[in-house]
Structure 1
């Protein structure tokens, strides 16, 4: 009498591949694309808050500083004050929005308890980092494009070195997106996230030469400012937009790239180990 064949409990035997197998090579391109698309759709679906609002905020900064300080400030580094602060305000807005995109996505998922939906699919730590990074960089670049067009239309400012400016905008968005991932993983509550934003991100954005040349700072603050990667991002964007800077653009690009790589590595380690992500 023949025996009834037994079905194996091993998924690999039944289907020919185990859960998590990468059928398209070493990178799960479909999963990576899906995560990146989700992160981009998160902010494009509410574009009035994520794209229009930053444009209005940047415009208000320009109007307030131009009216309050511009007429009395005179030229800074050979350009008028309004033109000088335009790149700083642009980069400040870019990095704030890039940070908000990744940090809010992760912390909201943790608070709502659905972070598991992101962690369960067969995505490696590197793919998670790249997926979240894509959303933050996309938001930062779109904000930069909108503000640049506004500066051209209302102030007549045309980027002096557009490729250099684009490189620093992308790098700045990547740096703050990766920092947003680290902050989102570390924070378990909205008030913790607000504390990180208010006491770390905002001071970094405001005290990095956004509204002034660092050459005017006292010696101690001058040295401290040069340890801040955000200073090099703002300074590089200023060179790309109006052709003047406080430090060599290549040095700034190298420092900002190293800082971005370091923070991305930390975010990668957090995802791989499940630090503050797994119960």
Structure 2
């Protein structure tokens, strides 16, 4: 029943701006928790790792470790917060019993998808921008390829936003969402080359890392700063773009069916 409802209201006016505004206000009203807190966490990582390894490690032959680390911390913060925005919103709506009201406004499944994903991308980019701003105290990063930087910011945050949307739809309790975060998102993020170049790993772990899609989000993002990376940016773009497209189609299908929206 939910799918016909969504389709029937497609021409009755759009609730997209309202839903998008609501999702943006959700994180902006508690910005100390949603933006400042992850920036402080990234700053602590930067202080600890930079102090320990700055004079001992150079990456790609000439890049100091602190400069190498900052894009990784930026992307890690963006990924985690892009995931958190739709997943926390949906699980809160489910627990409070108002998720069913998603079916009442004139919203199509594409509008629901777009509003949640766009809000998550904006939150992720805001956190990443704040991490970059704070890092200026330590070092000024070059930006060699700003277009690549923008592309990987949008696609990478989009991937995690969609995964957050899937997790929020599938989870019925907070502990189920926490399991998704702790056993999938967190390991995949930390093992994606945030703190190291994949070329420094043994061959087996290099192979494992190359099967992690999040590795390509960080590697492509670093290319935007330095103009060099562990793999070709076109290779990273193909992987990241392919994952984004596949997850988008899958999630749109779930929303079109009204998957768990009425439970």
Q: TM-score, normalised by structure 1?
A: 0.87
Per chain length, whose mean CA-contact separation is higher, i.e. which structure has more relative contact order (CA < 8 Å, sep 6+)? 2
Q: Structure 1 residues 227, 41: closer, same or farther in 2, change over 3 A?
A: same
Greater Rg, structure 1 or structure 2? 1
Determine if the alignment matches structure 1 residue 142 to structure 2 residue 134: no
The number of residues matched between the two structures is: 255
Displacement after TM superposition at 1:250 (Å): 1.3
Determine if the alignment matches structure 1 residue 83 to structure 2 residue 67: yes
Tell me which of 44, 55, 62 is aligned to 1:60. Answer: 44
What is the rounded CA distance, in whole Å, between the counterparts of 1:143 and 1:188 in structure 2? 28
Displacement after TM superposition at 1:21 (Å): 5.7
Match of residue 224 from structure 2? 240
Match of residue 4 from structure 1? none
Match of residue 253 from structure 1? 237
Q: Structure 1 residues 38, 219: closer, same or farther in 2, change over 3 A?
A: same
For residues 166-213 of structure 1, the C-alpha deviation after alignment (integer angstroms, 9 at most, x for no partner) is 211111110000000001111100001111101100111100111111
CA RMSD of superposed structures (Å): 1.5
Determine if the alignment matches structure 1 residue 110 to structure 2 residue 94: yes
Determine if the alignment matches structure 1 residue 124 to structure 2 residue 124: no
Residues 32 and 123 in structure 1, CA contact (< 8 A), matched pair in contact too: yes
Determine if the alignment matches structure 1 residue 213 to structure 2 residue 197: yes
After TM superposition, the structure 1 = structure 2 runs for residues 1-279 of structure 1, keeping only pairs within 5 Å, are 20=9, 22-23=11-12, 28=13, 30-72=14-56, 74-78=57-61, 79-279=63-263
Deviation larger for 160-169 or 173-182: 160-169
What is the rounded CA distance, in whole Å, between the counterparts of 1:47 and 1:163 in structure 2? 28
For residues 231-258 of structure 1, the C-alpha deviation after alignment (integer angstroms, 9 at most, x for no partner) is 0100011111222200111111111011
For residues 72-92 of structure 1, the C-alpha deviation after alignment (integer angstroms, 9 at most, x for no partner) is 3x2111211111111111100
What is the rounded CA distance, in whole Å, between the counterparts of 1:161 and 1:151 in structure 2? 19
Displacement after TM superposition at 1:275 (Å): 2.1
Residues 40 and 134 in structure 1, CA contact (< 8 A), matched pair in contact too: no
Unaligned runs of 5+ in 1: 1-18
For residues 134-175 of structure 1, the C-alpha deviation after alignment (integer angstroms, 9 at most, x for no partner) is 110110111122122222343122322222112111111100
Displacement after TM superposition at 1:267 (Å): 1.5
Structure 2 counterpart SS, 1:84: helix
Unaligned runs of 5+ in 2: 1-7
